[in-house]
Amino acid sequence: MHIPFAASERSTIGIEWELALVDQDSGDLRQVAQTVLDAVAPADGGEHPHIKQELLLNTVEVVSGVCHTVREATDDLGRSIEQLRGVIDPLRVELMCAGTHPFARWTQQKVTDKERYATLIDRTQWWGRQMLIYGVHVHVGIEDRDKVLPISRAMLTHYGHFLALSASSPFWGGQDTGYASNRALMFQQLPTAGLPFQFDHWHELEQYVDDMMHTGVIDHFDEIRWDIRPSPKFGTLEMRICDGIPSMSELASIAALTHCLVEHHSRELDAGRELPSIPSWFVQENKWRAARYGMDAILILDREAREELVTDDLERLLVQLEPVAEDLACAEELQGIREIMRAGGASYQRQRAVAAQNGGELDAVVAALVEEMRVGHPVLDRT
């Protein structure tokens, strides 16, 4: 099988943001996605270019265009959200984003009436029906196919950093799971989801896809749902690690970190230097540590098994990436990573704090997440 990799301008960026539709009064999920999508559809009856359908009727996805800066991408998303609010405000529906809804029940959710979704649920059954989860995908353009797999392997060395920063799913079905990101461990139960194989050569990826299609595991490349994957049709590397991110400022910061790291590794390849990588068993352990402990995770950094607290390694990484951030015009957004670390913490920490302040009532957590989406940044003072 030959898998062509589309021509893509180097270090262009695109963002996909999955958003929950919640009732203004109860905070529970509302099954109104089709109503919303119909209302924003173009007059010719086609699909909105930036507001998309998802698996469940409680979800819409906003996507940016192909952009050159993080600011350009988030401005794109902001325009789509403004358009959505014109439709959902009269319905008394709010937008919310987190890796999971704190108390909604998966048994009460409705699946979008599309054949591909029905096929997915038919195959995956109990696990598929439980996919009441939300994530963020960041695409970064790579101009040379030969760079894709080395950069993908290098990005795996930062897996735990992205998951810890974005972790926003401590609650599931009304209970505290004890994890910072319950979503990350749930999603990997689906076939072809989870950590990618660390292929050295493109033909190995082609052989894998050929095998998966020949044996009926997948029908299309997009059914490979790895946490990091090449996107051949766009000519990008797609980072799919992150939990749903509650606010625009946090989204911009984590997108900037993604943007800078991919470009940094691309420059290292240009200079003839070997990119970092770590064994798959260390990546798997880092995923679990970040999902469990979030910003308190001690991550394995390299093949020599050196370990460091994720926040300490992030500080080093931010200094290293400063020149790249200047070149990509996202220095301000990248500095927001420090705000996540030093202020109210990641979303899972803020959610638990709100729950504690409200006697464990999770509708207060939903209200806090809705507010953060509305104002565009974490809300730290709730006194």
CB 163 within 8 A of CB 99: no
* pLDDT-based confidence at residue 321 (cuts at 50, 70, 90): very high
Question: Is the pTM here over 0.75, yes or no?
Answer: yes
**Rg for the chain, CA atoms, rounded:** 20
| Mean pLDDT of all residues in 143-156 | 98
Instruction: Enumerate residues 6+ apart whose C-beta is below 8 A from 167.
Output: 99, 180, 181, 184, 243, 290, 291, 294, 295, 346, 347, 348
Which domains does the chain show, CATH number per domain?
12-375 (3.30.590.20)
The answer to whether residue 130 scores a pLDDT higher than 80 is no
Question: In this structure, how many other beta carbons lie within 10 angstroms of the beta carbon of residue 174?
Answer: 12
DSSP for 163-206 reads HHHH--B-EETTEE-S-SBHHHHHHTTSTTEESPP--SSHHHHH
pLDDT at 351: 98
Write out pLDDT tens, residues 159-206: 999 999 999 999 999 999 999 999 999 999 988 999 999 999 999 999
pLDDT band at 12 (very low <50, low <70, confident <90, very high): very high
Average pLDDT, the chain: 95
What mean pLDDT is predicted for residues 220-249?
97
64-109 pLDDT, tens digit per residue, is 999 999 999 999 999 999 999 999 999 999 999 999 999 999 888 8
Of the pLDDT bands very low, low, confident and very high (cuts 50, 70, 90), residue 361 is very high
- Asked if pLDDT for residue 318 goes beyond 80, the answer is yes
pLDDT of residue 137: 98
Pairwise CA distance, residues 157 & 290, whole Å: 13
pLDDT at 383: 61
Closest residue by Cα to residue 250 from 359, 145, 344, 120: 344
The pLDDT, as a whole number, for residue 382 is: 65
Helix (H, G, I), strand (E, B) or coil at 327: helix
Predicted local distance difference test score (pLDDT) of residue 122 = 81
